[in-house]
Every structure is written in structure tokens, then in C-alpha cells.
Structure 1
Amino acid sequence: MLKRVLVVLFVTVYFTSCKTVKLSRNIDQKLATSFFDNQFTGIYIYDVAADKVLYNYNADKYFTPASNTKIFTLFTGLEMLPDSIPAFKYAVNKDTLTIQATGDPTFLHPFFKDSTALKLAKKYKKVHLIANNISDKRYGPGWAWEDFDSYFSPEVSAFPMYGNVVFVQNQDSIKVAPNYFANKLEITDKSYGRKELSNSFYFGKNRKRETEIPMIINDSLLLNLWNDILPNKVSLLHKSALKPSTIAYSIPKDSLFKRMMEVSDNFLAEQILVLASSTLSDTLGAAKARNFMLENQLKDLQQKPRWVDGSGLSRYNLFTPISFVEVLTKIHNKIPEKRLFQFFPVGGKTGTLKNWFSGNPKPYIHAKSGTLGNNYNLSGYLITNSGKTLIFSYMNNHYMHSNSEVKKKMQAVFEELRDNY
């Protein structure tokens, strides 16, 4: 009996090894073309159940990750934030409510529309708001200055409102949120935008696409936005003798993470790190959260990353494919796949992967893309036809091809894994 078991085990190991060798050889052949001569490529593929590396190509080298950085932000949020988002801290003294910012991005956000702070503030005669408790600058290190009025580059702040953007719709008529800017938006023949150094917005009269234009966040604007919804009730404090310590909570954190990952929302990613820092200190700062994670949950990474922001907008970020697989494995080990996969865009189905990597007949890719000029990366989970879960990171930097050509080459590798492992 024992002899038979050993024979079966030997045969299984032998054929599995042969399959892995063949798979590796086939991927090597796909990479051994002139297409890859003038770009930098790294691939790491890991069978989580077998605890086995299936493929490693430049996986210990550092790459510009773009929005793959959000995988580290997701892990930070999962580890550091409670089940519901800490909207703010507060204290009450008779008829006065004092609110201290935590960085929650959902307050009156165009998608979430959370009104936790507004509902509480309506109950009091006076509202004091502390929103200067942040050490971060409005932009992350290395962000492109010319993106100041681009939808993907809202400013970071302690107490965001409306997603820190002006939201414009033009269907039967032009609608503006927040309402404060309804009579301040200039309708022009241009497309859309904002003056570089002021909250002066313009919008094309023939433009029909819903548009988000980042605001310049300062004390004056914050006070005006609050007093637009609660007239003559709100004032800003730089210090308070009363220490806000009671935490009010807004939406479930999974809702925030899903939105951040699915549409690759840079603003939400940056604010998640600010939020995470609120669990460490009253003085907010994304670097506190990043350093805490690197010194604790991420201290065992084989290659320590250069991690400078939450979104991946910065080209200063440097990560290896191995690091992404290690973090994705940590998340996989802690969270059931049903909950985990909801955070990630699905190939051929949702978010940033809606038009790529579709399954036949069912989806097989759950992953986060990362795109900057001449860079495209994808890291996440691949389900093979045999039911195995593979964790992968496939990174492409500094190419001169089109993004679609790069994605076709990647898809060939993914389908090889799906069909033959």
C-alpha cells in the first residue's frame, strides 16, 4: 500500500514538474522576440496553494509601478482601518460642536455622497472645524504640475468635501456641484479647466461629458463651502482647548477600497493613507502610514520599495514584481477570495480591465493595472481552467509600442497559464 502511494506521489510530482518546465519554456519563447528588445519587462508568477514559484523574469528588479501602487494602499487600509471609515473626531460643549479632520474622502463625494458630518453639525448652534492638522502638501512628490486641473489629480487635504472637485454635467442644462460654484462657472468655447492659481473654472458650452475639475483647497474655500450648506454656523479653528476624541464613522471601508481599485481613483488612494495615519496620530500624514507598514506588516519584503504616494501618480515610486506578489499573497492569506476579488477589476468585465483579458467563457483575471506614459503593469490573481489560483505581477516599463500591443503580449502569457496549468 505504501509503495503504491509513493509511486502515485512520484508520478504526480514528475508530471507537475514537467508541466512547469514546459510552461516556463513557452513563456520564455514569447519573450524572446524583438518586441521586448527596447523595453524593460519583469514577470513573477506564484502558485499560492503549492507555495511554488512558476516563473521569474527580472522579478527582483525595480520598476515604475504607476497605479499598481494602489495594491500597497489597499493592504494598508485593510490592516490599519476599522470596518467603517473614521469620518472625523468630535467633542461637544453645550451648543458647540468641535470637529477634527481625519482625512475621510467620502463627505459629500459625488459617488459616495456621505453626509455624516452634516447631519451631526445640523444639531448644534455653532460648529468649530479643525482642518489644519495635516503635514502633507497638496500634491504628492513627483506629481506632474501640468495636471493641476485634470480629473485624476485632486489635491490632498485633511477634510475633503465633494471629492475636492467641481463636478459639471451638461444634459438639458448645466448642473454644478458643489452649489457654491453654480454662478461662478464660466461657460466658454474652450473644453474645460481651471486657472492654475485660482478657483476660476470654465466649461465648454458644447461639452456633454460629465467632468470633474480639481479645486484649490484652502481655508477660505473650506469655510465658504461649509457656510454654503450651514450659513453663519461654521468657523475654522487652528487650536482648541477642547480635545475631540469621540470618533464618528461613515461608510464601510470595503466600499471605499472597491471604488479606489475598480476605477483607479487617485484621490481616494491618497486619502486612504491619510485616513490610516489618523489611527496613529492626530497630526495627519501619509508618510506616517507608509512608514508604519514598512516597519511592521511589510518588514519581511525581499526588496524594500521606494514608496512615496498612495496612488502611483509619482514616477519616484519603485517596486519589484516580487514585492507585489508578496503583498498580494499576504492579502490572499487573510481574506477569503469572494471578498478579496470584489476589490479588483475583472478582466473583460469591470473597471480598468473592462476591455481586456476577458475569459472564455468565464472571467479569469482579477487584477490592478498601472498606466503611465510608456509604462503598463498588471498585478493580481489568475484562475486557471483547472481551478488553481496564481498570483502574478507582469510589469512593462519604458516601451515605445502602443499600450494595446503590450497588452496583447501579456494576454498571450495569461492565456498560456490559464489553459495549461
Structure 2
Amino acid sequence: MGGKDTKLCLFYVLIIILLGSCASQKYPRIARSVNQILGEETSDKHFTGIFFYDPASKDTIFSKNSNKYFTPASNTKIFTLYTSLKLLPDHIPALKYQFSNDTLRIEGTGDPTALHPHFQDSTLIKFLNGYSNITLYPANFQEDKFGPGWAWEDYDWYYSPERSGLPLYGNVATLYQQDSVRVSPDYFRDSISTFREARNREPDRNQFYYDINAADTVEIPYRTANLTTKGLLEKMLGKEIRIDSGMAPTPKKVLSGMRLDSVLKRMMHLSDNFLAEQLLILSSSTLSDTLSSAKARNHVMDGFLVDLKQPPRWVDGSGLSRYNLFTPESMVYVLNRLYHEVPRERLLHFFPAGGISGTLKEWYPGVQGPYVFAKTGTLGNNHCLSGYLITKSGKTLIFSFMNNHFRLSNGEIKHRMQKVLETMRDSY
């Protein structure tokens, strides 16, 4: 390399360094305060990425490792929220169907609300009750039951139901005690044992175990299968359901179900993994008859988010997978798109409020009301928080705060994060 090329290369390196430090130069007091907080803990022993952005002035207020990739955990649901708002109508598609020759032909859309323990939506059942001859076509679901990189040993825990094309009862069996052990749906009544076992369910079949001494209500994911869906529907409807491999090549009608916003709010506030996964599958139903979360993800990344500077590795809707990789800047980018595309009151309604609701009920309380509206994301040794912060001056900041591979307790990490958030609230 010649002397001129070397000087030119050094010039560009200097420009990059200056640009990277411009936020600190523009807001040096904030940078000093935040860096002091970050230095109080053993932050050199784990990875931290932070990005604070003012959407009004388009200023970067503070940045640290903001273009580096982190495991986001349930912060992934922010991308699922964005996808759902872009692709789904106000009332979610509950079913696709055709009717001819006295037969109703149906296929699922991935709608997670049918007979769900919380929503208890009966739209599907009321509709099917009006027909005598029903044929189910399940072949449009082209996903694995579990997402890539999910922990296989979590199969019997409430937060890890299987994905499916026509979910019923949230794809969980709910066990509880009254005068005896009961289960909903009643279809699984003969599949309950009260023996004390290490697992809640057999790995490969719907044999459930319930500890009668616990006296708790327990939700246990059931094994999904076409015959299980058929049996559940037949039990509820009191009529036979046939299964076939393909619908006729004629237009399909769409049955409208619940309001989208109520499903999105529960997904975000409770960090509901099942809803997140099914919402991506549901979103794909608006693009074609094939149910595939990858189809929805690719559509968003190749279209709405094609100009994202650091494209993520995005493999599921919930963030259960450790294969997911996102940067703080990418999180803020999507949050900024939401901020400008969704009315403020509706947008903040989706996010847990600090000290008030959801996964933030015990953290980040305000003095005269919540100042943080954000989504948490937690896996073992990882904790992230991304969303919106209202400063004392009334300005709104968009932020992403990611912590990976720490050996401290989650509480210690959150205390440090709270100090940073309060500094931003009070200083800007």
C-alpha cells in the first residue's frame, strides 16, 4: 500500500472514530453519568449493548456496542409485534373455509385464540355448529412443532406449547382440583395420573401427571397431531370430523375472529411465547395458504425492513431460541418505525408500564406515573429491555439495553439498568 493510500485509510478511520463518539461529545454529561454507572459493576465480565435515541431530533443520546449482535430473548417479540401490525387486519383471521355439496371444508390459519384458557373465544365453535358435514384440511401447516434452538426438555412446561395450524385450548391441558382432579379440555379426562413424577407429561404421548398435594392449577402442553385436533373438535361439536389432504382450487372465505389488539397486548405484557409463535404463523396466512413463520419473517425483512443496517438472525416469534441475534440499533430502528406508524396511545398500550403492569410491574416505577414502557427479554444469563422512556422534560426516547452472558443475578443487572434509565429520565 502506497503512502497516499495509507494516509487516506487513516483519514477514514479517524472519521469513523469521530462519528462514533459524536453522541458522547454532544451529550458529555449524560455519557459520563452512564459510563460511571456501568463501571460500578463487574460489567467487564459480561457483554452490554445500549442505544438511546431521540426520534424528534433524530439524535443519538448514548451508544455503547449498539451495532453488536446480542441474544435478545423475548425482545424478539417486538419484531413479532411489528409483523403482526403490518400483516394482520383489526380482527384476526380465525379460519379459511369453502362450502359446497353440503360439506364445509376448513383449514386453520394459526389463530391462537380458539377456546384459549384466557380468551375462551368460541367464534370457531359457533361457526362450525352451523354445519353437519365438516372436513378438515391440515396440510397447509408447514412448520416444525418446536422452533429451532428451543430447549427440548421444556416440552412439558406451560411456556413452551407446540406450534400448530389449528390450535385449540392454547395447545395446553389445564389441570386443577375441585372435588376431584379435573382437566380442560375434557377430551384428556382419561389421560391423567396422580402419581408423583419428575415430568408433567410423557415425552411422546398425552399422558399427564398431576401432583394432588400441590393443589395448583397447572397448564401442560399437549402433543399436537391431526387426530388430536379431530378428536378435540368432535368432542366439542358432538359430530364427526373428516380429514382430507387438500382443498378444492376455488376461492376460500375467511372467518373473522377476535380483535388483534387484545391478543398483541397479552403477548407483550405477559411475554406469552405461544401467542408470539402463532401470531407469526397467523401473519403468514395473509400472504398465502401455506402456514410458515419463515414466510412472514422473510416478507417483513425483504420488504418493510429491507434497509435495516444490521439485519438480524431471526428464527422464531417468541425469542425462546438462542439462535436469535439482534443489535440494539436494530431494536431501536423497529421501535422507531412503530413510534411513527402507530398512534401513541395505542402503541404504548402494547408495552408493559414500569411499576404498573406486565413483566415491569415490580421494576422501574415512576414518581407521578410510569416513565418506562418496554419489553423485557430473559434467558439464563441474559436480560434485555427495549422500548420507550418519557423524560422529566416530556420528551420521548427510544432505547434498547441488552446484557448477555452475565454471572450476576438478574436483580443486580436490573438495578444497574434502573440507574441508567433514571439518569436518562432526569438528565434529558
Q: State the TM-score, normalized to the length of structure 2.
A: 0.92
SS across alignment from 2:375: strand
Alignment of 1:110-259 (within 5 A): 110-170=117-177, 173-190=180-197, 193-241=200-248, 243=250, 245-259=252-266
Alignment of 1:233-382 (within 5 A): 233-241=240-248, 243=250, 245-382=252-389
SS across alignment from 1:152: coil
The answer for unaligned runs of 5 or more in structure 2 is 1-22
The structure-2 alpha-carbon separation of the partners of 1:151 and 1:300, relative to structure 1 and needing over 3 Å to count, comes to same
Which string of whole-angstrom CA distances, capped at 9 and with x for unpartnered residues, describes residues 94-138 of structure 1?
432111111111111111111112111111111111122111100
1:80 alignment partner in structure 2: 87
The answer as to whether partners of 2:24 and 2:31 remain within 8 angstroms in 1 is no
Equivalenced residues, count: 406
In 1: Cα distance, 2:264 partner to 2:41 partner = 39
**Pairing 1:100–2:107 present:** yes
The answer as to whether partners of 2:132 and 2:239 remain within 8 angstroms in 1 is no
In 2: Cα distance, 1:17 partner to 1:373 partner = 32
1:27 alignment partner in structure 2: 34
Q: Offset at 1:332?
A: 0.4
Which string of whole-angstrom CA distances, capped at 9 and with x for unpartnered residues, describes residues 168-194 of structure 1?
223564331111112321122347600
Q: Offset at 1:49?
A: 1.4
The structure-2 alpha-carbon separation of the partners of 1:289 and 1:17, relative to structure 1 and needing over 3 Å to count, comes to closer
In 2: Cα distance, 1:192 partner to 1:356 partner = 32
Which string of whole-angstrom CA distances, capped at 9 and with x for unpartnered residues, describes residues 21-53 of structure 1?
211111011112451011000000001111111
SS across alignment from 1:355: coil
The structure-2 alpha-carbon separation of the partners of 1:160 and 1:243, relative to structure 1 and needing over 3 Å to count, comes to farther
- Which piece of structure 1 moves more, 302-311 or 30-39? 30-39
Which string of whole-angstrom CA distances, capped at 9 and with x for unpartnered residues, describes residues 226-283 of structure 1?
1111233211121133646111010011111001000000010001110111111111
Aligned pair partner of 1:67 in 71, 74, 83: 74
- Which piece of structure 1 moves more, 204-213 or 71-80? 204-213
The answer for unaligned runs of 5 or more in structure 1 is 1-15
1:52 alignment partner in structure 2: 59
In 1: Cα distance, 2:160 partner to 2:136 partner = 25
SS across alignment from 2:42: helix
SS across alignment from 1:248: strand
The amino acid of 1:297's aligned partner reads F
The answer as to whether partners of 1:168 and 1:210 remain within 8 angstroms in 2 is yes
- Which piece of structure 1 moves more, 89-98 or 374-383? 89-98
RMSD: 1.6
In 1: Cα distance, 2:343 partner to 2:131 partner = 43
Q: Offset at 1:334?
A: 0.8
The structure-2 alpha-carbon separation of the partners of 1:110 and 1:198, relative to structure 1 and needing over 3 Å to count, comes to same
The answer as to whether partners of 1:114 and 1:251 remain within 8 angstroms in 2 is yes
The amino acid of 2:230's aligned partner reads L
**Pairing 1:89–2:96 present:** yes
SS across alignment from 2:74: helix
The answer as to whether partners of 2:191 and 2:206 remain within 8 angstroms in 1 is no
The structure-2 alpha-carbon separation of the partners of 1:211 and 1:244, relative to structure 1 and needing over 3 Å to count, comes to farther
In 2: Cα distance, 1:347 partner to 1:188 partner = 42
The answer as to whether partners of 1:346 and 1:366 remain within 8 angstroms in 2 is yes
The amino acid of 2:281's aligned partner reads V
Q: Offset at 1:149?
A: 0.3
In 1: Cα distance, 2:229 partner to 2:168 partner = 8
Q: State the TM-score, normalized to the length of structure 1.
A: 0.93
The amino acid of 2:113's aligned partner reads T
The amino acid of 1:101's aligned partner reads G
The structure-2 alpha-carbon separation of the partners of 1:191 and 1:209, relative to structure 1 and needing over 3 Å to count, comes to farther
Which string of whole-angstrom CA distances, capped at 9 and with x for unpartnered residues, describes residues 324-369 of structure 1?
0000000000112111011111111111111111111311110000
The answer as to whether partners of 2:108 and 2:138 remain within 8 angstroms in 1 is yes
The answer as to whether partners of 1:192 and 1:203 remain within 8 angstroms in 2 is no
The amino acid of 2:247's aligned partner reads S
Q: Offset at 1:209?
A: 2.7
The answer as to whether partners of 2:192 and 2:210 remain within 8 angstroms in 1 is yes
Moved over 6 A (4+): 16-19
Q: Offset at 1:153?
A: 0.5
- Which piece of structure 1 moves more, 217-226 or 93-102? 93-102
The amino acid of 1:96's aligned partner reads T
- Which piece of structure 1 moves more, 409-418 or 165-174? 165-174
The amino acid of 2:42's aligned partner reads F
1:13 alignment partner in structure 2: none
The answer as to whether partners of 1:376 and 1:396 remain within 8 angstroms in 2 is yes
Q: Offset at 1:382?
A: 0.5
In 2: Cα distance, 1:243 partner to 1:311 partner = 34
1:387 alignment partner in structure 2: 394
